[in-house]
Amino acid sequence: MQWVLISLVSCAMFVASATTAAHDIEVISDGHSFTEGPLWHDGELWFSDIPTSTIYRWHPERGSSIAVRPSSGANGLALDTQNRLLMAQHQARRIARLNSDGTQTSLASHFQGKRLNSPNDLVVADNGAIYFTDPPFAVSEEEQELDFAGVFKISNAGELIVLDDALARPNGIILSPDATTLYVTDAYQWQIFAYDVTPEGVANKRLFAELEGTYEQGMDGMAVAQDGTLYVAGPQGIYAYSAQGKLLELIELPDFTANVALVETDNRVLYVTNQTEVLKISLSANDTD
């Protein structure tokens, strides 16, 4: 595959306070069906292709190769505190861990005796707790056993706890750098909610940000920088918000922008799953100041 280097000017004409800047955007992997779950790990980008039930790993010099197949329709990916791969699996309707011998261990598949919907995205706290969203995107009404779409926590003891059962379609999920705030997108309400993280679960649910109007695509996955800047995959591209919820910038992208990962060095780099492609977006350190 030949890499394509393009430069786009981010545009947020509908939000007067948002800035604009030019970024270099590379297509680093293409020809996929629907990419998701970008995860930067040990110098490589791991990502899911949900319809083909495959997890890929991309290396800057070697390109993309298959890491896990079949993946049971894995969507979101994360690492636990022992650097083992965790997967939110649509087809198996569970959160699972990939073991060193290639086997998989189910960490959560049922709540009060009923199957989860289709676990979508997840994040792991430094203490080992796993937070994940469970919308019914990959199940029919007949298959759905739970009567809600939940935000869940798997405690260190393996207990599955409902944190919020009132969102319409909880989707992306991420923790703030200090792990005191949990962010969740409600996809087709085009809203981002913030929660205070407590030992018991969460508290002080509040609306962090929302888009005006309606779109064919929803709010999706997120990444967060050390200064608290939140990068959100949404209907028009990547939305950058300050830690206070102010929209700083919209990086417009084509197709369906599903998720984003951040590598933060001297210059920030975003890795974006954009339907059939995976993109690398180079940001300067002060783009969102």
9-26 confidence digits (pLDDT tens): 333 333 334 555 678 899
| Cα–Cα distance, 9 to 5 (Å, whole number) | 14
Domain-located, residue 70: yes
| Model pLDDT for residues 159-206, shown as the tens digit of each residue | 999 999 999 999 999 999 999 999 999 999 999 999 999 999 999 999
Q: What is the CATH number of the domain that holds 34?
A: 2.120.10.30
Residue 188 φ/ψ, nearest 5 degrees: -100, 15
pLDDT score, position 267: 84
pLDDT score, position 265: 81
The list of the chain residues with pLDDT below 50 reads: 1-17
- The single residue listed with the structure tokens 């064919």 is 216
Domain-located, residue 272: no
- Tell me the residue range of the domain where 67 lies: 4-227+278-282
Residue 187 φ/ψ, nearest 5 degrees: -50, -60
pLDDT score, position 2: 33
**Among 80, 82, 112, CA closest to 96:** 80
Using an 8 Å Cβ cutoff, are 171 and 182 in contact? no
Domain-located, residue 193: yes
Domain-located, residue 156: yes
Tally of domains within the chain: 1
Domain-located, residue 191: yes
Give the chain's mean pLDDT: 91
pLDDT score, position 21: 61
DSSP character string of 147-182: SS-EEEEE-TT--EEEEE---SSEEEEEE-TTSSEE
Domain-located, residue 85: yes
**Among 248, 286, 245, 252, CA closest to 272:** 252
Tokens at residue 9, please? 């000017």
Domain-located, residue 220: yes
Instruction: Specify the 3-state DSSP secondary structure of 189.
Output: helix
3-state secondary structure 40-81: EECCEEEEEECCCCEEEEEECCCEEEEEECCCCCEEEEEECC
**Among 161, 163, 165, CA closest to 149:** 165
Which helix (H) or strand (E) covers residue 233, if one does?
Answer: strand 230-234
pLDDT score, position 141: 95
Using an 8 Å Cβ cutoff, are 135 and 169 in contact? yes
Tokens at residue 75, please? 């969507």
Going across the sheet that includes 150-154, the strands are: 122-124, 130-134, 150-154, 160-164
Domain-located, residue 241: no
pLDDT score, position 158: 95
